[in-house]
Amino acid sequence: MQIGTVYKESWQKLNEFLQDREVSSIEAYFIVSEVLKKNKTFLLTYPEHEISDEEYAKIQTILAERICGRPLAHILGKREFWSLNLKVNEHTLIPRPDTETLVEQALLCAQKFSPDIKLRILDLGTGTGAVALALKSELPGAIVDAVDYSEEALKVAEFNSQNLNLPINLINSDWFEKIKARHQYHIIVSNPPYIAENDPHLNQGDVRFEPRTALVAPMQGLYDILNIIRHSCDYLANNGYLLLEHGYQQAGDVKLLMNYGGFTLVETVKDLGYNDRVTLGCFNYKDK
């Protein structure tokens, strides 16, 4: 059977399940590409390329699992983020393109410090290590600490760190609990739990298969965000930055909490879908 025929068949099946032509097209290409070990350019250029019965059967197996609702990242055991190939499993959140906005803004903040400074960065709730590893890949000279409460998640992050040869310091901690040194970090980033406990989206799509502890927070999703804002000033270096990912309807609340927390230059940045996604601010503790 030819690639073009297999792709069309895969797309049709996924489209019926996902009801989203853009997503189903992307996933169909990804599945066929993964099994054949060929990139998208090859698939588009040589639709007449013949595939083996074994390859076809493997594609059908993956499709069947996906149509049952299981996330593609869990089926394949990996997800690309910031051009990094990351191991993913049921103990971690699945890295999403929206979170790349958090990385982009952290890199912009890093540029505001003198090149002579050895940057120290803290990633709270690291999960797969996606954000910490992306920052380490762009800032190889920085010291990057990555915290998570889940030991299973840290095992995934450790694998990714070693597999990508991007050394970061992994710490099993409930937020700042095991962070002893004060005023040491130039940048603190976090993609914390921010979904409200009664949000109907928790019963839809891929989030059904992700750990609730990494998704849900009390106070309409703001509890952990508030906790991080309250304590981060004790761990930021002078004129250090805090950057938080949050829900698209939470920007006003997060900005208010950061202003109350003594942060200045507070702003919200939109993701690729033009939704409010990351709020950041600077803290000057010498003036407090």
Q: How far apart are CA 202 and CA 70, in angstroms?
A: 14
Q: How far apart are CA 98 and CA 118, in angstroms?
A: 28
Q: So what's the pLDDT on residue 23?
A: 62
Torsions phi, psi for 69 (to 5 deg): 110, -10
pTM reported for the whole predicted model: 0.88
| Domain boundaries 90-287, corresponding CATH code | 3.40.50.150
Type and span of the H or E element at 246: none
Exposed (0-12), middle (13-18) or buried (19+): which is 199, by Cβ within 10 Å?
Answer: middle
Question: What residues contact residue 110 under an 8 Å CB cut-off, 6+ apart?
Answer: 119, 121, 135, 139, 142, 186, 187
Architecture of domain 3-68: Orthogonal Bundle (1.10)
> pLDDT truncated to tens, each residue of the chain (288 aa)?
777 777 677 777 777 777 776 667 778 888 888 888 888 788 778 778 888 888 888 888 888 888 888 888 988 899 999 999 999 998 898 899 999 999 999 999 999 998 888 999 999 999 999 999 999 999 999 999 999 999 999 999 999 999 999 999 999 999 999 998 877 999 999 999 877 777 776 667 777 767 777 777 778 889 999 999 999 999 999 999 999 999 989 999 999 999 999 999 999 999 988 999 999 999 987 655
Q: How far apart are CA 278 and CA 170, in angstroms?
A: 24
DSSP assigned state of 68: T
Closest to 190 in 3D by CA, of 207, 173, 205: 173
Domain ranges of the chain: 3-68, 90-287
